[in-house]
Amino acid sequence: LQRQAEQTCRQLVRTQEEHEQLLQAAVEQAERLEQSLRNAEAVLAERAAQLRDAQAQLSRNKQLIEELRGENRRFAMALQAAELKQKSMEEKNQLLEEQASALKHLIGKITPASLSG
C-alpha cells in the first residue's frame, strides 16, 4: 500500500509538472498573442491616421478644384467679353478704313477739279 501510495504520489507530481509546463506554455502563447494584438492595433491606428490625413487632403483638393472651376468660369467670361470687344473694334476699324478710302477717293476727285478750276 505504501509503494502504491508513493507511486501515485510520483504520478501526481509528474502530472502536476506537466500541467505547470502546459500552463507556462499557454501563458507564453497568450503573451505572444497580446503582443501581436498590440502590434496590430498600432498598425491599425497608424493606418487610420493616414486615412484621416488623406481624407483631409482630398477635401482640400476638392475645395481647390471648386475654386479653380470658379476662376476658370470668370476667365472664360472675361475672354468672351474681350473677344466681343475685339470683334467690335475690328468692325469699327473696318468702317474707319472704308471711310478713309472713301475720303481718299473724294479727295482724289476734288483735287484735280480744284487745280483745273
Q: What confidence tens digit (pLDDT) does each residue in 25-81 have?
A: 999 999 999 999 999 999 999 999 999 999 999 999 999 999 999 999 999 999 999
User: Cα–Cα distance between 15 and 105 in angstroms, integer?
Assistant: 130
Radius of gyration of the chain (CA): 49
User: What is the predicted pLDDT for the residue at 89?
Assistant: 98
pTM above 0.85, yes or no: no
Helix H or strand E encompassing 75: helix 2-116
Q: Does the pLDDT of residue 117 top 60, yes or no? A: no
